[in-house]
Every structure is written in structure tokens, then in C-alpha cells.
A and B are shown apart, each in its own frame.
Chain A
Amino acid sequence: MLYAMLCYNNEDTVFAWSKEQNDAVMQKLATVEEKLKKQGRLGPVARLMPTSAATTLRKHSDPPLVIDGPFAETKEQLLGFFVIECEDLEQALETAKELGQANPGGCYEVRPLLLFKDGAVKT
């Protein structure tokens, strides 16, 4: 089954990392990603810009309302995600733990996918 690992953390802290700290995290994640890739389990990986770069489309009116945000009222924000093939929840949690060791703080929401479409975007 495919699982999404939704990474939440305090963006004030994350976007204040020095280049060295940032590189260290990315390096650690890359090692785990490489392992997952060899096992054929790694799906799309994305890192999000801070919420300040985000815009929200509210659909309850016609035409929809475009506003800033989401505003980071909560302590932790969604900052990125992985899609990973896991046999069961136990393996999913094991994988999330491995990824989570790249940096302290924040949390991973481990959530099974209901639908997955492998779009056409190549980077």
C-alpha cells in the first residue's frame, strides 16, 4: 500500500537553518531515499515553500475568493511529503522513523493513500 509521510515542523525554525544545517538534513534524507529507491518503494518527494508564499482559493463563493495564507496560526506547518510503498503500517512507521532522524522536532503524519496518479511532470 502507498503511504504519504506528511512532514510538519515549525517553519520559523526550519527556514532559519543555516545552509550547513539545511544541507546536512537533505544529505541524511537523500541516504534514506536512495535505500528506498533501490527497494523500488520510493514515490514522489516534495518540499514546500513557506506558507508565506502560499495562496488560498476559497470555493464557497462564485467566483471563488483568492486570499493569502494559509496563515500559520498553528505551531507546525505542512512543509513537505514523501509517497512511499509500504507493506503495512508497521513498515510505514519504521520508514517514517528513519526519515525522521534527519532532524529533531516536528512530526510526520503517516497516512495511507486512497488514490495515486503518476502525472506527467518531469523535473
Chain B
Amino acid sequence: MTELAWIDAAVIAARPQAMAALLRYFRDLDKAEEAYQEACLRALSQWPQNGPPRDPVAWLIFVGRNAQLDGTRKLARHVALPEDDQISDLEDAEAEMVDRIDTSGYRDDVLRLFFICCHPELPATQQIALALRIVSGLSVGQIARAFLVGDVAMEQRLTRAKARIAKSPVPFEPPGAVERSERLASVIAMTYLLFNEGYSASERPLGERAQLCDEAIRLTRLLLRLFPMEAEVMGLLALQLLQHARLPARYDAAGLLILLEHQDRTRWNRSIIGEGLALIDKAIRHKRPGPYQVQAAIAALHARAETAAQTDWAEIDLLYSTLERMQPSPVVTLNRAVAVSKSVGPQAALAMIEPLSDTLADYFHFHGLKGALLVQLGRPLDARHAFDKAISLARSPLEADHIRQKLDALADAYPVPGTVGTVTR
């Protein structure tokens, strides 16, 4: 590992906090970004000679701020525009700025940097893309590859998103307690989505896309450092770690998803699971339950089961019923029905999902589960009907293939006289 790689790592780790402070200082995203870039360039030339500074964040803020101010002053002389007001404003703020660096009061700054990406009018994918650009500092090309789109398309998307947030006043005043927790709630929702973007693929994600989960975990870690007593942030980090720990077992040799119950659990990453379990245990002690903690608790039960057969489905059922109360959603009920089918039986599970027939009429997993339950109940014709419906709704060849395997098994178990019992594959 070269020295430059280490500087790179330190600079990347320092970016959210440094950018956040520079944004508060300049109140302009582009200026903050330029200042940060300049500071990074100087770090590359100075750190190898002088060694890494003890506090890279403070160093980058300080150097970035001065570099940008020098630039602004030069510009003011050349262009002779009334930039003077702005400069004197900035200099007034300087004393306070140095204080803030010393007392490491970065918390609201970083929250603000995240929060401006979570503009409610931006669709979730744009919020995520913007956060990767602004908070994480990924290049447009990297983000484009992570989202499997072309560079130009991503550039346009980011430009539009930035233009949209530029129209709204950036909230620079320090937030009150209520506002702070509202901001935090939208920010952790965004990092949750960022993780899912990388996690939900049915095929092994490659290249930049594979790094989305790592990036989400890094950002959630940062949030937890800033808000160390927030049980839901602990819960979210626990959830992400517990899911991420399964990565080595999630895909087969062809890169296709292996379902949880069929994964080789010896390949799960035990040290990541250990941290996830420590965090959820800790969060639960706060007795302020929330949806992320409940989901993490469910993931923890899977992680603690040495084999799929040892899964504590009754407890998972209980946790899903808690989640249903907190965040009522037909998909949560559907997940709960899976637990009920294992802990009580297929009849109870079917009764639970039948009221969802209308709301989930176009949902692949609804028909897949319904078919599986009907097979267990010895109703092959109804099961076949449900599986056919599921195949018609499959969003990927893999999903369709899972169902075809079930249809094949059904055909083997219940040969229909006078017809060919297999389904074309």
C-alpha cells in the first residue's frame, strides 16, 4: 500500500465532515466543493513531507477555507465586483469557525450536508445519487456505473437534482431539537434506501454497484458517531451489518441469488455479525423501539440460527406483528405470513394473506407465497394457478426460474393424466 493510498483513505474518511463545515462557511455547494478539492490537492503535496495531520478533518477545513478565500479575493480584484461585503461577512465568521473546529461541533453541519440531499421533491434514487456525489464524493462516472446508467444521463440527473435543491433555501440556522430529529429521520431513511439499492439485486452486483452497501454502512457509521445515543441509528447500522454479513453466501457460482434458507451459513461473516448483534443488543436497552431496530432484531434471529431449521419463527412472527403496528404495510404482513407458515402452519398463513388479494394483486411475491402455501395444503390446481400468475409478474429471469422449479416439483408430485406434466424451461 503506497503512501498516496493512505492519504486517499484519510481524505475520503474526512470528506463528509470537511465538506459540511465548508458548506456552512461558504453557504454554497459549489464553492464548498472547490475549497475541499483544493485542500485535497494540498494534502497530497504536503502530507507526504510532513506526515498526516493529527486531525485531517480540521486540516482540510482550515486549508480549504483559506484557499477558497484567497481565490475569492483574487477574483474580486480582477473582476471588481462588489464581493467585499461577502468577504467581510466571512471574516466575521472566522473566529466562530475556529471554535467550531476545536470543539468538534460538526454534528449539525454533517446532518445539514446529508439533509440537503433528502429534498422531499426529489425521487429516492436521485436523493441517493446526490448523497453519493455530495457526501461520499464519488465521481459522476462511479455513480453512473453504480446505477447502471450512462455517464451523461447521470450527469444530467445530478445537475437537475442540484438545480432543484438550489431553489430551496438551505437551512443554515442551527436546528432545534424537533427539527434535528426530523432531519435525522429523513437522512437515515435515505441511507436505508442507499443500502437497499446495493442489496436488493437478484444477481451479484459488480464493480461500483457492489460498493453501495459498503458506502451506506460507512455513512451510517458516521451518523452513529455523531448521534451515539440514537437507538434507531444503532438499529439501522445493526440491520445493514447483519444483512451485509451474508454477502459471501448470497450468490451462487453463476452469480444468482441464493435464498436465505438455502445459504451456506458457515460462509456468513461472523465478525460483522458480531458487531451487528452488539449494536442491536445495545439499541434495545434504550427501550425506544422503532422500525429499524425491529428489522435488525429479525435479522439478528436469522443470524443467530445455525441452520435454517433452527430459526425462531415464533419470535420472528412477533417482531413482524410489532413492525405491522409501527409501519402498517401489506408487504410487512406478507413477510409475517412466511413466519406464521413456519411457526403455526400454512392454513393460518393463507388466512392472513387472503385479505391482501386486491392490494397485492400485481405483486410477484404475493402469488409466489400463496402458491407455496397451497402446495403445502394439498391444493395443486390452485397452487398452479397462483404460480402461473407469479411467473407473469416476475421482474427478472431468476424470479421466473424460482417459480418454474416449484411448478416442476408440483408436476412431479401431481402428474395430470393426459397432459405433459412438465413445464417448458
Contact = CB atoms under 8 A, between A and B. Distances in A.
B348 interface: no
Given A52-B225, A73-B104, A21 B13 contact: no
Given A75-B54, A75-B55, A16 B12 contact: yes
A11 B54 CA distance: 13
Interface string A26-55: 000000000000000000000001101101
Contact of B222 (A12, A17, A76, A104): A12
B191 to A, nearest CB: 15
B13 A13 contact: yes
Contacts of A68: 228-229, 282
A21 B285 CA distance: 34
Main secondary structure of the interface of B (DSSP, over half): helix
Contacts of A18: 9, 214
B355 interface: no
Contacts of B214: 18-19
Instruction: Give me the 10 closest cross-chain CB pairs, A-B, nearest first.
Output: A16-B13, A13-B13, A53-B278, A24-B1, A52-B224, A49-B275, A105-B52, A12-B13, A104-B6, A13-B10
The winner among A15, A52, A73 for most chain B CB atoms within 10 A is: A52
8 contacts: A11-B225, A17-B9, A21-B1, A25-B1, A49-B275, A50-B275, A71-B228, A104-B51
Interface in B201-239: 214, 218, 221-222, 224-225, 228-229, 234, 237
B9 A16 contact: yes
Interface string A77-104: 0000000000000000000000000011
Nearest to B286: A68
Interface of B: 1, 3, 5-6, 9-10, 12-14, 51-52, 54-56, 104, 214, 218, 221-222, 224-225, 228-229, 234, 237, 274-275, 278-279, 282, 285
The winner among A24, A53, A68 for most chain B CB atoms within 10 A is: A53
Contact of B3 (A69, A73, A104): A104
B279 A52 contact: yes
Given A17-B9, A75-B55, A50 B228 contact: no
A18 B5 CA distance: 10
Contact of B221 (A15, A24, A69, A105): A15
Nearest to A66: B285
Contacts of A55: 282, 285
